[in-house]
Structure 1
Amino acid sequence: MPVQLPELPYSRTALQPHISAETLDLHHGRHHRAYVDAVNARIAGTEMDELSLEDIVRGSQGSLFEAAAQAWNHAFFWQCLHPRAGDDPHGALAERINLQFGDVQKLREEFNRAAMAVFGSGWAWLVQHPDGTLAITTTRNANTPLTGDSTPLLVCDVWEHAYYSDYRNERARYLQAFWKLVNWDFVSSQLR
């Protein structure tokens, strides 16, 4: 069964003014679609064509891994955003953030530092380690924590195509906008 391009969980204009419809059309409609199409082209007629996208990511290498990981990372990224977001986390997630980072503002500052330090293209993640602690990590290119022991909770795409139309090369301004869209309910739902 081919991998499907997931629908955005909101309309293409819903994230404005922080992320434009033009950016979503390019990012979801072209880039994400291209990764899904590349996965499907590579798995057609193989034993992998019946696997879930997560299993393909975990069981592949080379160009198939790159396309599958990018497809998975993007699908996860869309879930991390919501047009009516912007509040601070609450409940168990807030408690863990406060324990690990001091407060949500310190989490944002540390996350932004990590995201700004990614040279070239990649991703900034909030993850939960198997022992329950939270951490901020980054991955380059198509890499993803999905292939390790940590559980992804939140991701910010810092590939230039994620923000260039709206912010040009101003990644810091893009990160400010990102925090206004974080879907803390989704992030909370990923806790183990």
Structure 2
Amino acid sequence: MTRRTLLTVAAGATAIVATSRDGFSQSYDNTSAGGSSGPFQLPPLPYAASALEPSIDAQTVALHHGRHHAAYVANLNQAAKVAPEIAKRPIEHVLSRLGDLPDAVRATVHNNLGGHANHSMYWLVMGGAGGAPTGEAMEAIERDFGGLDDLQRRFNAAGAGVFGSGWVFVTVDRTGRLAIETRPNQDTPLMDGKRVLFGNDLWEHSYYLKYQSRRADYLKAWWDVLNWARIEERYRAARTGELTI
């Protein structure tokens, strides 16, 4: 997430916006997160739940954001009562130093902060019209993958090959180099000190209502809702060290 993106999202949000002490500006809707409150907050969708149709149906988006993502936030707020330091440090800092956390909350933070970071990124990189990127991001895709078609083929194959639940990501380093990586469950490249350009959620709750077991169809359709302008912004932020999640 970048500072410019945060301002864009906040401008269109209907929920209350606040900036947490880790510098991660978030919005929180008590009804979405089951009335839970605390230092971690649920970012609002930067578009209507129906905006991703027909690639992803509105019911899936509403449940995914308002129930699944909100549950990670609620669990983090419970963990913060035991280990308040997790809310005082940048998300990427906490995730890359999970071994420093108390045993009592380490697994909870691993799973739920990973899920919170992954989903916050996921909502932000969607809401566009797909197509093809332009600018520096496209140059990097052509350099590192041979073009958008080859990136999509390799990304979709990696995503289809994930056993069970997980994620497929395109990571970006400070030199602008891109790579495809997969992670199980709610793990994230942030745990290894890396940065994510964009990524797709492979948990069944992301696609099952529309696609049932046809993950490959979901992976293919997902490209039609990417917001390449925002991904270009993330790419530039990664080059300057400003990209967080």
Question: Normalization by structure 1: what TM-score?
Answer: 0.93
CA RMSD across the alignment: 1.5
SS in 1 for 2:51: coil
Q: For 1:122, which of 166, 188, 192 is the aligned residue? A: 166
User: Which position in structure 1 is the counterpart of 2:135?
Assistant: 91
List alignment gaps of at least 5 residues for structure 1: none
- CA–CA separation in structure 1 for the residues paired with 2:160 and 2:194: 22
Structure 2: which amino acid aligns with 1:137? E
Shift in Å at residue 168 of structure 1?
0.5
Is 1:110 the counterpart of 2:147? The answer is: no
Preserved contact between residue 56 and residue 65 of structure 1 (Cα < 8 Å): no
Q: Which residue of 2 aligns with 1:38?
A: 75
Q: Equivalents in 2 of 1:58, 1:139: separation in Å?
A: 15
Equivalent in the alignment of 1:164: 208
Residue in structure 2 matched with residue 79 of structure 1 by the alignment: 124
Partner amino acid, structure 2, of 1:38: N
- CA deviation after TM superposition for structure 1 residue 131, in Å: 4.2
Going from structure 1 to structure 2, the CA distance change for 1:132 and 1:53 (only over 3 Å counts) comes to closer
Between the aligned partners of 1:159 and 1:165, the Cα distance in structure 2 is 12
Is 1:49 the equivalent of 2:94?
no
Higher relative contact order (CA 8 A, sep 6+): 1
SS in 1 for 2:197: strand
TM-score (norm 2): 0.74
Displacement after TM superposition at 1:63 (Å): 1.6
Q: Is the 8 A contact 1:15 1:181 kept in 2?
A: yes
SS at match of 2:168: strand
| Counterpart position of 1:7 | 44
Identity of aligned residues (%): 38
